[in-house]
Structure 1
Amino acid sequence: MRKKVIIFGAQGALGKQLDVRARSDYDVLTWHKGDIDITDEDLVKKKVAAEMPDIIINAAAYNAVDRCEQDEEEKHQAELINGAAVGFLAQAALAAGALFVHFSTDYVFSGDASEPYQENSEPAPLNVYGQSKLRGEKEIIKLSGRGLQWRLIRTARLFGPPGEGEGAKENFFLALLKLSRRQPEIKVIDREEIGSFTYTVDLAAAVFDLLQSGQGAGIYHLANSGQASWFEAAVHFFRSIGSRVAVLPIRSADYPRPARRPLFSVLANTKLPPVRDWQTALDEYISTLKE
């Protein structure tokens, strides 16, 4: 008998790829914010209890990093969606006896490290967004002792086919492509904000490989192998698409934003098979843009 999976945030870029990947092996229910408000605790628990899924995957998130840093209402939304609501979903999973899968971010780290962050590295977020995601992590971990089965997956810098609907976020490379059509040169941060990049197609595949591997509860890091600055990734992107746009390196101080970013937030995957390198994954994504 096929297991039942509920995917929250199913219209987002990651949610869509999780849906695509799951359908061959699972009975899938996809819920987006038009179907359910995950910040409504009673509604979440009622709807999950009515379905009694085997697995709940939460791909819903608030990710307007700068808006929540400078606006109190946006900060409240980040704390609700990334923090409290994760607790509601985890409690609903526990009550249903379901495995709970949730995604977090490299922004839970300070960026002070000189080596990639491992799964057990100490979080110390620099901004409101990172703090809200860390609260979500803590909501899950505190239920672990009560019997919750969980997999917490930290990832970073997602790119891939776009999501749908209100609030769908444009990935870095699509934003670059649009900019290149309007201006002959683009300034991008280099030598700082070094991180991991993640192709949503590869991430979705790795998630279900993890679920079928027998690995236990815990924190996992999943991103494409390798590391890069935003500048290095931009140079590779434009070279691969054959664009002649000039990409100019700048420092973080030259591009001030409300929220501080970690200067180094590469994720070390020490528990799972490595995912292919980000350059190969990006080239595959680029081939889909040309179709």
Structure 2
Amino acid sequence: MVVGTIKTLIIGADGMLGFDLCKVFPDAVKLTHKDIDITDREQVLESIRKINPNLVINAAAYTDVEGCEDRQELAFMVNGYGPGYIAEACSEVGATLIHFSTDYVFNGSKKEYLEFDTPVDPINVYGRSKLLGEQKIAENLNDYRIIRISWLFGMHGKNFVETMLRLSGEMEQVKVVNDQFGKPTYTVDLANKIMEIVELKAGIYHVTNEGICSWYEFASAVISNTVPCTSEEFPMKARRPKYSVLVNTKTKSMRHWKEALKDYMKERNV
């Protein structure tokens, strides 16, 4: 597939990741949640039939991990059944689907996860809903690339970096857990990776910036007044996996998250 000559549709174009995808695919048809309700099967089928794209990039998701615990039905519709409807439509028009999943499909019982590892018993609603999305895509379409990502940060949406910067100005000390480990991922780097993955064979991919850290270590690279704490000291409605490190064995490695963070900080201070 020659990306420059194909018709591309981006769903979720106004989200944090969607914004950077639109820069990489400037000629794409761009739909936001105001344009399409991915939980409405008939609307999804009709919209994709009308546009008739060669490539569909689905960046729409309900990513509020805590909110998913309170609104479980919405989480499973948006993150689970919605991607299945998109896959069904892609199969009908002969389009390739790029879809973004999450490290939270894994329960954290292993220190690292390969693309070939089978997710078992995600420990929160968000993870279970995203796993359902993976399953529904595989049921409805052969030509898909499911990209699992983790700890996403970008200029155009709520993210951990901005939360830390805000709290740092409001509090003398910011407590951050030091017993959950993962790999931060910059939306710009992720968006620029898509053209490579489109050319690869169908399947599941792990795409993150390199470098493993705890949330505390990530926070410490952003602000100076953070202090470590345990997950037990900072209880939340949704349980988080202790380890959610995604290992990439299928594509070229991306740069270290600390390098990506430097670029992010430069951009936000312009």
TM-score range, shorter chain: over 0.9
Structure 1 unmatched runs, 5+: 164-169, 239-244
Counterpart-to-counterpart distance in 1, 2:256 and 2:20: 19
Q: Partner amino acid for 1:131?
A: R
| Paired letter, 2:66 | D
Q: Is it true that 1:194 corresponds to 2:181 in the alignment?
A: yes
Find the counterpart in structure 1 of residue 12 from structure 2. 9
- Give the drift of 1:207: 1.3
Match of 2:104 in 1: 107
Q: 2:149 aligns with which of 137, 140, 155?
A: 155
Partner of 2:117: 121
Cα contact 1:22–1:208 (8 A) shared by 2? no
**Deviation (angstroms), 1:36:** 1.1
Q: Deviations over 1:24-65 (max 9, x none)?
A: xxx310101111111111111011101110000100001121
Find out whether 1:94 has 2:91 as its counterpart.
yes
Cross-structure match for 1:241: none
Given the two structures, how large is their TM-score scaled by the length of structure 2? 0.96
Give, in angstroms, the shift of residue 68 of structure 1.
2.1
- Name the amino acid aligned to 2:53: P
Letter aligned with residue 15 of structure 2: G
Alignment of 1:43-192 (within 5 A): 43-69=43-69, 71=70, 74-114=71-111, 116-124=112-120, 125-144=122-141, 148-163=142-157, 170-190=158-178, 192=179
Q: CA deviation at 1:2?
A: 2.3
Matches within 5 A, 1:268-283: 268-283=247-262
| TM superposition score normalised by structure 1 | 0.89
**AA in 2 matched with 1:128:** V
Rounded Cα–Cα distance in structure 2 between residues aligned with 1:143 and 1:48: 15
Deviations 1:249-289, CA, capped at 9 Å, x for gaps: 00000000111110000000000000000000001101112
Q: Does 1:226 align with 2:220?
A: no
SS in 2 for 1:224: coil
Give SS of 2:232's match: helix
Aligned equivalents of 1:65 and 1:234: distance in 2? 19
Deviation digits for residues 125-178 of structure 1, max 9, x if unmatched?
11111000000000111234xxx3110000011111114xxxxxx100101111
SS in 2 for 1:7: strand
**Preserved CA contact (<8 Å) 1:193 1:262:** yes
Q: Which runs of 5+ in 2 are unaligned?
A: none
Find the residue that maps to 2:200 and give its secondary structure. Answer: coil
Q: Percent identity?
A: 41
Runs of 4+ in structure 1 deviating by more than 6 angstroms, as ranges, are none
**Structure 2 Cα separation of the partners of residues 90 and 122 of structure 1:** 21
Q: CA RMSD in A?
A: 1.1
Contact 2:113 2:247 in 1 (8 A): yes
Measure the CA separation in 1 of the matches of 2:240 and 2:89: 33
**Cα distance in 2, alignment partners of residues 93 and 225 from structure 1:** 32
Q: Distance in 1 between matches of 2:175 and 2:46?
A: 49
Partner of 1:166: none
Superposed CA offset, 1:203-236 (max 9, x none): 000112221xx31000000000011101001111
Q: Distance in 2 between matches of 1:61 and 1:282?
A: 24
| Residue of structure 2 in register with 1:242 after alignment | none
